[in-house]
Structure 1
Amino acid sequence: MEIQFQSDIGKRRNMNQDYANVFTNQSGMYLAILADGMGGHLAGDVASKMAVDGLGAAWSTSSLSQPDKAAEWFVQEIQQVNEAIYREGTTHLEMQGMGTTIVGAALLNETFVLAHVGDSRAYLIHEGQLRQLTEDHSLVNELLKTGEITAEMAAVHPQKNVLTRSVGIAGTIKTDISEHECQSNDYLLLCSDGLTNMVSEEVILAIVTSDQSLEDKTKQLINVANEAGGADNITVLLIHFEGEARP
C-alpha cells in the first residue's frame, strides 16, 4: 500500500483551509484524514487542523484493527472533535461559527472503514471503474435527491457550497460510517470539493488509472483543478492498495 497526499491553495483564495494527514496506530494500521474548514479570518484552517490532528492523536494511541471497533471509534472521536471545535468557536469571538468537513479512512488489511461529514468525498477505483462512496451533506444534493433540480443544474447552483451537516456544531454530530473491501491494485481517493467542483469524474479516473507514479497522479489532479480555474482550495489524498505499506 502506498499513500500520497497534497494540498494547494488554488487560484482564488487567500488562505488554505483544507488540511490532511496520515497516522499509524499501535497495531500498525493507517488512518487517512482530510478536512475542509469553513469560517472567516483564520477560523476555517483552525477547524480543519483541529479535526485532523485531534483524530490523528487519538488514533496514534489506539490499537484498533477490527472494522466494527473502528466504526465505533469514528463515531466517538468525531463527536469529541466536534465538541472541541464548537468550544473553540464559542470561546474566541473571531472564530465563532467555524466548522469543517471530515472524510477519513481507517485502513484495516483487506477492508477499510470510511467516516464522513460534509461534502468532501471518497471514491473507490476498482478494475477501471470509479465509484463515489460518500454522499454529500449539502443543500444541492438534497434538492437533487428530491428531483427539484437536475445534475446539470446542481453543477452550477449558486448555493452549491451550503452544507446540511458539518463538524463544529452544538450537540450530537451525525457521522456516516461505511465498511468496504479493497483488492490488490484498487485505489481510494479522498478529496475536498476543490477537486470535484473543477474536474469531472472521467478526468479523475483517467489520471488515477494512468501509468504515472502515485505522487505524479496526485500532483496532476491538483494541477488539472487549478487549470480549470482553481476556485477553491484543493486537497487530494490517494491510496494505492498494492505491495507493502509505504505512506
Structure 2
Amino acid sequence: MEIQFQSDIGRRRHTNQDYANVFTNQADMYLAILADGMGGHLAGDVASKMAVDGLGAAWSTSTISQPEEASQWFLQEIQKVNEAIYQEGITHPEMQGMGTTIVSAALLNETFVLAHVGDSRAYLIQNDQLKQLTDDHSLVNELLKSGEITAEMAATHPQKNILTRSVGVSGQVKIDVSHHHCQANDYLLLCSDGLTNMVSEADILSVVTSDQTLESKTKQLISAANEAGGADNITVLLIHFEGAACP
C-alpha cells in the first residue's frame, strides 16, 4: 500500500484551512484523515488541525485491527474531538463558532472503515470506475435528494457551501460510518471540496487511472483544481492498494 497527500491554498484564499495526515496504531494499522475547517480569523485552521491531530493521537495509542472496533472508535473519538473544538471556541471568543469537516479511513487488512461529517468526500476507484462512498452533509445535497433542484443547478447553487453537519457543534454530532472491501490495484481518494468543486469526476478518474506515480497523480489533481480557478483550499489524499490483500 502507498499513500500520498498534498494540500494547497488555492488561488483565491489567504489562508489554508484544510489539514490532512496519516497515522499508524499499535497494530500497524493506518488511519488517513482529512479535515476542511471553517470560521473567521484563524479559527478554521485551528479546528481542522485539532480534528486531525486529536484523532491521530488517539489512533496512535490504540490496538484496533477489526472493522467493528474501528466503527465504535470513530463514533467515540469524533464526539470527543467535536466537544474539544466546541469548548475551544467557548474559551476563545474570537474562535467561537469554528468547525470542520472530517473524512477519515481506517485501513484494516482487506477492508477499510470510513467515517465522515460534512462535505469532504471519499471515492473508491475500482476497475477503472469511480464511486463516491460518502454523502455530502450540505443544504444543496438535501435539495438535490428531495428533487427540488437538479444536479446542474446544484453545481452552481449560491448556497453550495452551507453544511447541515460539521464537527465543533454543541451536543452530539451525527457521524456516518461505513465498511468497504478493497481489491488489489484499487485507489481510495479522500479530498476537500476545493477539488470536487473545480474538477469533474471524469477528470479525477482519468488522473487516478493514468500511468504516473502516486505522487504525480496527487500533484496533478491539485494543479487541475488550480487551473480551473482554485476557488478554495485543495487537499488530496490518495491511497493505492497494491497487493493481493489490502492494505
TM-score normalised to the size of structure 1?
0.98
Partner of 1:113: 113
Q: Residues 63-100 of structure 1, C-alpha deviation per residue, up to 9 Å, x if partnerless?
A: 00000000000000000000000000111011010000
Partner of 1:31: 31
Say if 1:47 and 1:99, in contact at 8 Å, map to a contact too: yes
Instruction: State how far apart, in whole Å, the 2-side matches of 1:27 and 1:109 are.
Output: 11
1:3 aligns with 2:3: yes
Instruction: State how far apart, in whole Å, the 2-side matches of 1:244 and 1:231 are.
Output: 39
Structure 2 residue matching 1:82: 3-state secondary structure:
helix
Partner of 1:157: 157
Partner of 1:70: 70
Letter in 1 for 2:67: P
Counting aligned pairs with the same residue, the percent is 83
Q: Structure 2: which 5+ residue stretches go unaligned? A: none
Letter in 2 for 1:216: S
Partner of 2:49: 49
Q: Residues 197-222 of structure 1, C-alpha deviation per residue, up to 9 Å, x if partnerless?
A: 00000000000000000000000000
Say if 2:184 and 2:244, in contact at 8 Å, map to a contact too: no
1:135 aligns with 2:135: yes
Instruction: State how far apart, in whole Å, the 2-side matches of 1:157 and 1:89 are.
Output: 29
Partner of 1:203: 203
Letter in 2 for 1:195: L
Say if 1:2 and 1:244, in contact at 8 Å, map to a contact too: no
CA RMSD in angstroms, aligned pairs only:
1.2
Partner of 1:99: 99
Partner of 1:79: 79
Structure 2 residue matching 1:222: 3-state secondary structure:
helix
Structure 2 residue matching 1:194: 3-state secondary structure:
helix
Partner of 1:168: 168
When residues 31 and 244 of structure 1 are mapped into structure 2, their CA distance, relative to the original with a 3 A threshold, is farther
Instruction: State how far apart, in whole Å, the 1-side matches of 2:94 and 2:234 are.
Output: 25
Partner of 2:12: 12
- TM-superposed CA distance for 1:243, in Å, is 3.9
Structure 1 residue matching 2:170: 3-state secondary structure:
coil
Structure 2 residue matching 1:237: 3-state secondary structure:
strand
Q: Structure 1: which 5+ residue stretches go unaligned? A: none
Instruction: State how far apart, in whole Å, the 1-side matches of 2:89 and 2:183 are.
Output: 41
- TM-superposed CA distance for 1:227, in Å, is 0.1
- TM-superposed CA distance for 1:244, in Å, is 10
Instruction: State how far apart, in whole Å, the 2-side matches of 1:42 and 1:244 are.
Output: 44
Letter in 2 for 1:143: L
- TM-superposed CA distance for 1:134, in Å, is 0.1
Say if 1:8 and 1:16, in contact at 8 Å, map to a contact too: yes
When residues 3 and 244 of structure 1 are mapped into structure 2, their CA distance, relative to the original with a 3 A threshold, is farther
Instruction: State how far apart, in whole Å, the 1-side matches of 2:198 and 2:218 are.
Output: 15
Instruction: State how far apart, in whole Å, the 2-side matches of 1:199 and 1:7 are.
Output: 15
Letter in 1 for 2:196: T
Structure 1 residue matching 2:198: 3-state secondary structure:
coil
TM-score normalised to the size of structure 2?
0.98
Partner of 1:60: 60
